[in-house]
Structure 1
Amino acid sequence: MTDSFWLVLAIVLYFGVMVAIGFYSWLRTSKYDDYVLADRGLGPFVAGLSAGASDMSGWLLMGLPGALFVAGMSELWIVVGLFIGTWANWKFIAPRLRAYSEVAKNSITLPSFFQNRTRDSSPLLRVVAAVIIIFFFTFYVSSGMVSGGRYFESTFHGDYLTGMLIVGSITVLYTFLGGFLAVSYTDVVQGALMFLALIAVPVMALVALDHPADIFSFATSHAYGPWPEGNPNYFDMIAGVSGATVIGNLAWGLGYMGQPHIITRFMALRSPEEATSARRTGTFWVLMCYLGAVSTALVSTVYFAQHGSTVTDQSGFETIFLDLSRILFHPFIAGIILTAVLAAIMSTMSSQLLVTSSALVEDLYRATSRRTPSHTTLLVLSRSMVVAVAVVAMVLAVHPSDTILNLVGFAWAGFGAAFGPVVVASLYWRRLTAPGAVAGMIAGAATVFIWGSIDVLSGAIYEIVPGVAVATAALVVGSLLTTPKPGTSEEFDSALAAAGGNPSEAPAV
């Protein structure tokens, strides 16, 4: 049997499991709230792994190893920032958001939480938040489509467009069927695959080297990848890196507090108390995956040079994990391992598709509709919007104009700046008002868009840094110039008590 047969068999089995989970979740999804947030029934293990898997898109196995392979350990600042951000998000945001989102009229989406938290009588705050979600997630989902296309190029030497359509269609199918429950359960399977693959691939590549210790010196003085004479600063995290670059890369961690597809897992926990257990699961999983991605890049600098193998992607070198898997393992085992890349791509895309669909239906249609739609209508609309958003993202991905990491970076900064300060203020500052939240979101999103569109500025520092700074200033000024609605302070105390905090600890001004 040919190699292609075994690879295809592994992929088909994986797709079959994903679709089966979708059908299983469909049978358990009878209400609109089930489809959007699984009726707040996620256990800590599922929530922790689901949050991690939905966070780690194709960039973990493709974009990040490629960046480390090309630029060296100076790219590790991103990993440091993201790991700290992961831990802080679970520690300081998860328990309070779980409690407060239920206290605030049982909010099931982030925009609805913002509106209910500030007791905004108009739909403006909710609509602005929904529009930001739709805009930035379109780019984010598109990056997943690009990853899917490149996956098929490397694995099967096939057509980019065909691969993109296959990956996108399967993701849409199980998300369409099972909603949040399907997304969460598939995340657990996908997270386990990613975890195992990121351990197996670098270990096997290391074993295949004649002198494994070469990985700690080879790249500095030998030709590899894009470096015909080696990269003398490969292992130096500081040399040749400006302070602004270090700050910008560390600032990726700031983005966590504003990622809707991640923090909705906090809202879906069974109780605020279970956030501690979920944090331990999630942060351990993330740490091991980062170690695997870094190891993949490090071993690749030696492996491809010494074995005469060619990296499929000669531009961003984002296929080194795929190429190693294909070379080192039996085709069927390689196929199973390579499904980890699909897992990373699809777990993130499915979460983003569901959040975007919820924003369109729950926060645009339902918030502005004069009639109260039935649960059946809302379910049909939600599933329809999953398909519609996917189609738009596919169109954008037909001719990708940027690397996966850059596409993700733009969307990550957008959410981090637009929503991060508002989320933190919602949970820790009782003085927040709706006008202040609107000002912060618009200022953050606009700053990221403008800054990221100007090469001189984006090259100076990652746009999330000025975005968060401007958003925070606008939020504080806007809130201090306006008056909180009656009852918000009392509700703030109730939510804080439900999360196990002390109301006296929260600043009033």
Structure 2
Amino acid sequence: MTENFWLVLAIVLYFGVMVGIGFYSWLQTKKYDDYVLGDRGLNPLVAGLSAGASDMSGWLLMGLPGALFVAGMSELWIVIGLFIGTWANWKWVAPRLRSYTEVANNSITLPSFFENRTHDTSRILRFAAAVIIIFFFTFYVSSGMVSGGRYYESTFGGDYLTGMLIVGSITVLYTFIGGFLAVSYTDVVQGGLMFLALIIVPIMALFALDNPADIFTWATDNAYGPHPEGNPTYFNMVAGVSAATIIGNLAWGLGYFGQPHIVTRFMALRSPAEARSARRTGMIWVAICYIGAIFTALVSTVYFSQKSASVTDQTNFETIFLDLARLMFHPLIAGIILTAVLAAIMSTMSSQLLITSSALIEDLYRIFNKKPSQTTLLVLSRTMVVLVAIAAMLMAVNPSDTILGLVGFAWAGFGAAFGPVVVASLYWKRLTAPGAIAGMVVGALTVFIWGSVPATSAMIYEIVPGVIFATIAMVAVSLFTQPKPGVAAEFDRAVAVTEYALAHPEATFSDAMEGTAAPHPASN
């Protein structure tokens, strides 16, 4: 049997499992809130893995190893920033966001939370947040489509467009059917595949080398990949890297606070106290995955030179993980391992499709139709999943940027537009609706303009000025305006519920609500 037969068999089995989970989740989805947020019933293991899997995307197995392979360890500043950001997000945002979103009129999306948190009646805040989600997630989903097309090229030697359409269509199918539960449950399977693949592939490639110790010296003294004379500064994290570049790469961690597809997992937890267990799961998972991606790049500098093997992507070298798996294993085993890349791509795309659909229906459509039926909401949400996917596919037909570039732009957009507002919503009682609007708009526009101008984008990653200017605008406008009546009392209530839940981890969220019936003061 041919290699492609075994590869196709493995991937068809994987697709079957994903669609099966979608149908199972469909049976559990009875109402609109189930489709959007799983009725806030996510256990911490699923939440931790789902947040990690939906976060990493094809960047973890393709973009990051490729960047490390080409540029060297100077790219590790991104990993350090992301690791710190992941921990901080789980530590400081997750518990309070879980409490506050339910205290604030049971908000099930980030835009609705912003509106309910500030008691905004103009609908401008919710509308602006929804537009930002739709705009930046279209780019983000497009990066997943690009990953899918390149995956198909490398694995089957097939057509980029065909691969993009296949991967995109399967992702749309199970998201369309099962909603939030399907996305979360498939994330657990996909996260497990990514975890195992990032352990197995670099270890097996290491054993295949003539001298495994070469991985720590080869790139500096020998020709490999894009460096015909080697890269003498490969292992130096600061050589040839400006302070602005280091700050910009570390600043990727700031983006976590504003990523809707990640913080939605916090909102879906059963209790704020379960954020602790979910954080442990998520941090162990992400740490080992990062180590695997780093060693994939290190091993590849030697493997593709000693074995006279070629990398499919000769421009950005984002297929080294795919090529290693295909070259080293029996096609069936390679196919199973390679589904990890599909898992990374599809887990992120499905989360983003669902969040964008929710923004279109919950945060735009319901502004004009306040009392639609549950059936109408479900039908419209599923329809939007398909339409957003089509738009992202059209953008990905002729990709003009690397996977990392597309992800970086969208990541900065959300980090600058939503990050300061999320943190202020949870920790600054004085935040007002006009302040939140100003912060979001300034953050989004700064990222768009800064990232679009070559001179400024070359200076520093756009998330840095985006967060700075957004924070200044948010604070300044909030101080010149007044919070609506009732905002302070609700803030105190949310803080009290969080503190009670963390002090009584055995309590349900209902217990926490009842145990704090009389709110106590909270500091600004």
Question: Partners of 1:75 and 1:491 in 2: how far apart?
Answer: 43
Question: Partners of 2:36 and 2:286 in 1: how far apart?
Answer: 25
Q: Structure 2 counterpart of 1:381, which letter?
A: L
Contact 1:220/1:231 (8 A) holds in 2: yes
Deviations 1:391-417 (A, max 9, x none): 000000000000000000000000000
Using a 3 Å threshold, how does the CA distance of structure 1 residues 503 and 67 change in structure 2: closer, same or farther?
Answer: farther
Contact 2:40/2:270 (8 A) holds in 1: yes
Question: Partners of 1:15 and 1:242 in 2: how far apart?
Answer: 44
Equivalent residue for 1:463?
A: 462
Q: 1:215 aligned to 2:232?
A: no
Q: Structure 1 counterpart of 2:376, which letter?
A: T
TM-score, length of structure 1 as denominator length: 0.99
Equivalent residue for 2:315?
A: 315
Q: Structure 2 counterpart of 1:166, which letter?
A: I
Equivalent residue for 2:516?
A: none
Equivalent residue for 1:136?
A: 136
Question: Partners of 1:65 and 1:410 in 2: how far apart?
Answer: 19
Question: Partners of 1:153 and 1:260 in 2: how far apart?
Answer: 31
Question: Partners of 1:122 and 1:40 in 2: how far apart?
Answer: 28
Equivalent residue for 2:77?
A: 77
Q: Structure 2 counterpart of 1:474, which letter?
A: A
Q: 1:167 aligned to 2:184?
A: no
Instruction: Tell me the SS of whatever aligns to 1:56.
Output: helix
Equivalent residue for 2:419?
A: 420
Instruction: Please state how far the C-alpha of 1:505 moved relative to its aligned partner.
Output: 5.4
Question: Partners of 1:284 and 1:127 in 2: how far apart?
Answer: 37
Instruction: Please state how far the C-alpha of 1:60 moved relative to its aligned partner.
Output: 0.5
Q: 1:336 aligned to 2:336?
A: yes
Equivalent residue for 1:349?
A: 349
Equivalent residue for 1:408?
A: 407
Instruction: Please state how far the C-alpha of 1:367 moved relative to its aligned partner.
Output: 2.0
Contact 1:41/1:268 (8 A) holds in 2: yes
Q: Counterparts in 2 of 1:248-327, with a 5 A limit? A: 248-327=248-327
Question: Partners of 1:239 and 1:154 in 2: how far apart?
Answer: 33
Contact 1:255/1:416 (8 A) holds in 2: yes
Instruction: Tell me the SS of whatever aligns to 2:377.
Output: helix
Equivalent residue for 1:442?
A: 441
Q: 1:452 aligned to 2:451?
A: yes
Q: Structure 2 counterpart of 1:405, which letter?
A: L
Q: Structure 2 counterpart of 1:463, which letter?
A: E
Question: Partners of 1:211 and 1:391 in 2: how far apart?
Answer: 48
Equivalent residue for 2:512?
A: none
Instruction: Tell me the SS of whatever aligns to 1:499.
Output: helix
Contact 2:186/2:347 (8 A) holds in 1: yes
Contact 1:141/1:349 (8 A) holds in 2: yes
Deviations 1:83-115 (A, max 9, x none): 000000000000000000000000000000000
Question: Partners of 1:333 and 1:114 in 2: how far apart?
Answer: 47
Q: Structure 1 counterpart of 2:14, which letter?
A: Y
Q: Counterparts in 2 of 1:142-157, with a 5 A limit? A: 142-157=142-157
Question: Partners of 2:520 and 2:288 in 1: how far apart?
Answer: 37
Equivalent residue for 2:238?
A: 238
Equivalent residue for 1:182?
A: 182
Q: 1:493 aligned to 2:504?
A: no
Q: Structure 1 counterpart of 2:523, which letter?
A: A
Contact 1:54/1:261 (8 A) holds in 2: yes
Instruction: Please state how far the C-alpha of 1:504 moved relative to its aligned partner.
Output: 5.3
Question: Partners of 1:498 and 1:43 in 2: how far apart?
Answer: 19
TM superposition outliers: structure 1 runs of 4+ over 2 Å: 501-506
Equivalent residue for 2:43?
A: 43
Q: Structure 1 counterpart of 2:17, which letter?
A: V
Contact 1:37/1:268 (8 A) holds in 2: yes
Contact 1:176/1:387 (8 A) holds in 2: yes
Instruction: Tell me the SS of whatever aligns to 1:460.
Output: coil
Question: Partners of 1:325 and 1:306 in 2: how far apart?
Answer: 16
Question: Partners of 1:132 and 1:25 in 2: how far apart?
Answer: 29
Question: Partners of 1:127 and 1:291 in 2: how far apart?
Answer: 40
Question: Partners of 2:367 and 2:442 in 1: how far apart?
Answer: 23
Q: Structure 1 counterpart of 2:458, which letter?
A: G
Question: Partners of 2:102 and 2:307 in 1: how far apart?
Answer: 57
Instruction: Please state how far the C-alpha of 1:503 moved relative to its aligned partner.
Output: 6.2
Contact 1:123/1:368 (8 A) holds in 2: no
Instruction: Tell me the SS of whatever aligns to 1:79.
Output: helix
Equivalent residue for 1:16?
A: 16
Q: Counterparts in 2 of 1:50-65, with a 5 A limit? A: 50-65=50-65
Instruction: Please state how far the C-alpha of 1:210 moved relative to its aligned partner.
Output: 1.0
Contact 1:7/1:331 (8 A) holds in 2: yes
Question: Partners of 1:503 and 1:412 in 2: how far apart?
Answer: 37
Q: Structure 1 counterpart of 2:155, which letter?
A: T
Q: Counterparts in 2 of 1:122-133, with a 5 A limit? A: 122-133=122-133
TM-score, length of structure 2 as denominator length: 0.96
Equivalent residue for 1:432?
A: 431
Q: Structure 2 counterpart of 1:451, which letter?
A: W
Deviations 1:303-328 (A, max 9, x none): 00111000000000000000000001
Question: Partners of 1:481 and 1:198 in 2: how far apart?
Answer: 51
Deviations 1:417-442 (A, max 9, x none): 00000000000000000000000000
Contact 1:90/1:279 (8 A) holds in 2: yes
Question: Partners of 2:445 and 2:48 in 1: how far apart?
Answer: 32
Q: Structure 1 counterpart of 2:324, which letter?
A: L
Deviations 1:40-64 (A, max 9, x none): 0000000000000000110100000
Count residues in correspondence: 506
Q: 1:506 aligned to 2:523?
A: yes
Deviations 1:237-294 (A, max 9, x none): 0010000000000000000000000000000000001000000000110001000000
Equivalent residue for 1:93?
A: 93
Q: Structure 1 counterpart of 2:35, which letter?
A: Y
Contact 1:26/1:177 (8 A) holds in 2: yes
Deviations 1:443-465 (A, max 9, x none): 00000000000011101100000
Q: Structure 2 counterpart of 1:312, which letter?
A: T
Contact 2:495/2:522 (8 A) holds in 1: no
Instruction: Tell me the SS of whatever aligns to 2:66.
Output: helix
Q: Give the % identical residues.
A: 78
**Unpaired stretches in structure 2, ≥5 consecutive residues:** 501-518
Contact 2:492/2:522 (8 A) holds in 1: no
Question: Partners of 2:368 and 2:417 in 1: how far apart?
Answer: 22
Q: Structure 2 counterpart of 1:506, which letter?
A: S
**Unpaired stretches in structure 1, ≥5 consecutive residues:** none
Q: Structure 2 counterpart of 1:495, which letter?
A: A
Deviations 1:184-219 (A, max 9, x none): 000000000000000000000000001000000000
Instruction: Please state how far the C-alpha of 1:368 moved relative to its aligned partner.
Output: 2.7
Instruction: Please state how far the C-alpha of 1:122 moved relative to its aligned partner.
Output: 1.4
